[in-house]
Amino acid sequence: MSKPVLYVFGGSVWSAAAELAAAELFPEGDIEYKTINLMEGENFAPSFIKKNPNATLPTLEAEGQAYTSTAEVTSYFVKKSSTKVKAANPEFIEILHADKIDPNFALFLFRDDEEHKAKSELGQGFLGGRQAALKKYSVHPEAEPHKAFYDEKIASNGAFLALYQGKASKDEFFAQSHTHFHNIATFFKESLVSYLPENGFIGGEIPGEDDYHLGAWLTRIAAALGAKNKDEAIPAFEKGFGAPIPDQVVSYWRAWTERPSWIKVYPELH
């Protein structure tokens, strides 16, 4: 039987969740990894859209099937591993992946002109690469069945790119960014602790399925707030959210960042 193939990218928050699960649950070499460069829009190639119509990562091919969401991938790993861990709480997974606290938007939002300027290179580089890829792949003969997908993505990504290029009014986006940042801060400061134990992980002494998702979400938020390594994360949370960080969150962060799996997946924060 061939190895499962996990499609990932080093800068992807949700790829990292799947990679944490794989590192925790399987010996080295049991999973084959293939990189899809999101900066260059390789996920929009018609050949990849055939695997995952959403053109997102992570994507897993295993036992003749494709698993096309983070939840599907981590669930597969949990079920197939000889290491038994606590299964996911579907309600918690839904909360973490909701648009309201989307960690991807957290990286690209800007609330004022200063933040816009600071993120300009990142935004234009990523969104510009996506736009070029979308336009390139959309004219391939193999892309014809996915015309509606390409049309929508070219329009929405192009509008986002125009904001970063200074070709569209930023006022509405400023407001949207403030709201999103407030949602994340509220979840972080008020709701998150209700899911966390005093010590260890949601899954117990070792990470469970919920923890793979939360570990990746939390690391992305740290990176979005400017942390460059694990030691800068707690100060970044405190400065960004303007409040002391609950002890349970500090304990949880330290528990994750000491594990070999986290160290493997995060040579740098993303």
For the packed helices 209-224 and 13-25, what is the interaxial angle rounded to 10 degrees?
140
pLDDT at 114 over 70: yes
pLDDT value for 1: 67
Residue 32 DSSP SS3: strand
pLDDT at 106 over 80: yes
> What is the rounded distance in angstroms from the CA atom of residue 191 to the CA atom of residue 188?
6
What residues contact 30, with CB distance under 8 A and at least 6 apart?
A: 3, 4, 22
pLDDT at 92 over 90: yes
CA angle, corner 188, sides to 187 and 194, nearest 5?
75
pLDDT value for 209: 98
Average pLDDT, the chain: 97
Side by side, the strands of the sheet bearing 59-62 are 32-35, 5-8, 59-62, 65-67
pLDDT at 191 over 90: yes
What residues contact 239, with CB distance under 8 A and at least 6 apart?
A: 225
pLDDT value for 80: 98
Summarised one tens digit per residue, pLDDT across range 196-233 is 999 999 999 999 999 999 999 999 999 999 999 999 99
Mean pLDDT of 2-6: 96
Summarised one tens digit per residue, pLDDT across range 141-158 is 999 999 999 999 999 999
**CB neighbours (10 Å) of residue 186?**
14
Q: What is the pTM of this model?
A: 0.97
CA torsion angle for 49, 54, 59, 60 (degrees, to 10)?
-80
Mean pLDDT of 92-117: 98
Closest among 257, 222, 245, 267 to 107, alpha carbons compared: 222
**CB neighbours (10 Å) of residue 84?**
10
Strand pairing of 5-8 and 59-62?
A: antiparallel
pLDDT value for 193: 96
pLDDT value for 78: 98
Segments making up each domain of the chain, as ranges = 5-89
pLDDT value for 43: 98
Summarised one tens digit per residue, pLDDT across range 19-61 is 999 999 999 999 999 999 999 999 999 999 999 999 999 999 9
The architecture (CATH level 2) of 5-89 comes to: 3-Layer(aba) Sandwich (3.40)
